[in-house]
């Protein structure tokens, strides 16, 4: 059986990666979205095992030690990583797998899975990105400031990814992603 395709969606926090991925899954339920592990605290609407596996720092470190993560990175003050077993199992079964992760992790995936497709989602502008982060209403002004600082660094590295898409109009961006996933 042919192995599934690994598609990595990356880009700055607030650019709309999560919304894009949810929209894709509504019409393509055959795709598998990896559930990440994180040491960040859950937001009010988030559920353990659905949005993330919310772990303590010790539990996360144990996963690193056991080689249970396909990639991991520290993002601002928290750790985030992709559990290895579910992703490898799906790929082996021929299912296409989506990862929605930050840029350092995306780089690790590309290095280890050269056949993966990495897609960097750009905001129309930094001002618009800040506006989206503020509109989300889930982060304090300090956290927004550190995410904006990180966003500048991340955008500077966007040329190292296979595809770049500007997320101006959600519907158009979803169509662009569909072309990458199903035609490339
Ligand atoms: P948030 O705290 O807003 O949920 O996520 C912060 C950043 O971490 C986002 O850019 C998100 O895409 C990224 N992220 C989520 N899961 C993972 C993961 O498993 N690995 C890596 N490297 N980044 C992740």
Percent of residues, the chain, with pLDDT higher than 90:
93
| Segments making up each domain of the chain, as ranges | 6-183
Q: What is the largest CA-CA distance in the chain?
A: 49
**What local confidence, expressed as pLDDT, does residue 47 receive?**
97
Give 105-148 pLDDT, tens digit per residue.
Answer: 999 999 999 999 999 999 999 999 999 999 988 889 999 999 99
Architecture of domain 6-183 in CATH? 3-Layer(aba) Sandwich (3.40)
pLDDT of residue 173: 97
Indicate the top mutation candidate among 64, 83, 102, 116 to test ligand 1's pocket, ranked by most ligand atoms within 8 A of CB.
102
Buried-state track 59-90, b at ≥16 Cβ within 10 A, e below 16? ebeebeeeebbbbbbebeeebbbbbbeebeeb
Q: Mean pLDDT score of the chain, rounded to an integer?
A: 95
Query: Which pLDDT score, from 0 to 100, does residue 146 have?
Result: 94
Does residue 17 line the site of ligand 1, with CB under 6 A? yes
Is 96 close to ligand 1, i.e. is its CB under 6 Å away? no
pTM: 0.95
Ligand 1 proximity of 81 Cβ (cutoff 6 Å): yes
- Per-residue pLDDT of 17-49, as tens digits, reads 999 999 999 999 999 999 999 999 999 999 999
Mean pLDDT, to the nearest integer, of 67-79?
A: 96
User: What is the average pLDDT across 169-182?
Assistant: 95
Probe ligand 1: pick from 50, 51, 101, max atoms within 8 Å of CB?
101
Residue 169 has pLDDT above 90, yes or no: yes
Give residue 59 CA to ligand 1 midpoint distance, Å. 17
Quick one: average pLDDT of 57-79? 97
Nearest CA to ligand 1 atom 12: 101
Q: Is the pLDDT of residue 184 over 80?
A: no
Q: Show Cβ contacts of residue 75 under 8 Å, excluding neighbours closer than 6 positions.
A: 13, 102, 104, 150
**Which residue carries 């042919």 as its tokens?**
2
């Amino acid at each position: 059986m042919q192995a599934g395709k690994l598609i990595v969606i990356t880009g700055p926090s607030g650019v709309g990666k999560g919304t894009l991925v949810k929209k894709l899954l509504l019409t393509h339920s055959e795709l598998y979205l990896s559930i990440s592990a994180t040491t960040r605290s859950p937001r009010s609407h988030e559920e353990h095992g659905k949005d993330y596996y919310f772990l303590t720092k010790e539990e996360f470190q144990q996963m690193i030690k056991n080689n249970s993560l396909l990639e991991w990175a520290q993002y601002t003050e928290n750790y985030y990583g992709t559990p290895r077993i579910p992703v490898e199992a799906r790929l082996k079964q021929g299912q296409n797998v989506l990862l929605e992760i930050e840029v350092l992790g995306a780089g690790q995936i590309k290095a280890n899975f050269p056949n993966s497709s990495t897609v960097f989602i750009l905001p129309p502008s930094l001002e618009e990105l800040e506006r989206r982060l503020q509109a989300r209403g889930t982060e304090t002004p300090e956290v927004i400031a550190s995410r904006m600082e990180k966003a500048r660094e991340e955008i500077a590295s966007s040329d190292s990814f296979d595809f770049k898409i500007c997320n101006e109009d959600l519907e158009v961006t979803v169509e662009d992603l569909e072309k990458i996933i199903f035609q490339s």
